[in-house]
Amino acid sequence: MRRQLFFLIFFYCAFGVHSQNANSPALLNPADSSRFLYEYSMQYIGSSTHIDMNYRYVLEYLVELLEKNPTWTVHIRGHVCCGPSERISCKRAKNVYKFLIRLGVNPLRMSYKGYSDTLPLAFPEKTEEDEIMNRRVDFVIHR
């Protein structure tokens, strides 16, 4: 709970991201409410590209949101820490994309891309927690 609260406060302060209400995902740009950052992301250990099944609830909730909102699309973004690695970030995003297809999401409603280390949440990475924050897959939902 403390880490989630820290993350939300950090994200709010660092990027000017605002929530519409307590249950809505954070907007990427408050002026453009057609895109928002899904409120949950998935962390990775080391150079792993496998989906940790502890994050299945994140993906199932995303599927539920997409089913309730048939016009929404999702862009899956893979990230790494500690220097550029396009291959690992792309593989992370692609694995999540394939998993969502298995859960029933239409592939035409999704896209994915590896962003390597170009969109860090923590910069510079001074601690192991900073690195963990940057090793992630997150989701941008387009309304």
Q: Total domain count for the chain?
A: 1
How many whole angstroms separate alpha carbon 38 and alpha carbon 120?
16
> What pTM was estimated for this model as a whole?
0.77
Q: What is the model's pLDDT at position 4?
A: 42
Q: What is the model's pLDDT at position 35?
A: 83
Q: What is the model's pLDDT at position 29?
A: 53
CATH number at residue 46: 3.30.1330.60
Domain hosting 75: range is 32-142
Lowest mean pLDDT among 24-28, 63-67, 127-131: 24-28
Mean per-residue pLDDT, 34-59: 91
Lowest mean pLDDT among 15-24, 104-113, 128-137: 15-24
Which residue in the block uniquely carries the two structure tokens 């896209």? 111
Is residue 19 assigned to a domain? no
Q: What are the start-end ranges of the E strands in the chain?
A: 26-29, 32-37, 42-43, 73-78, 110-114, 136-142
Is residue 8 assigned to a domain? no
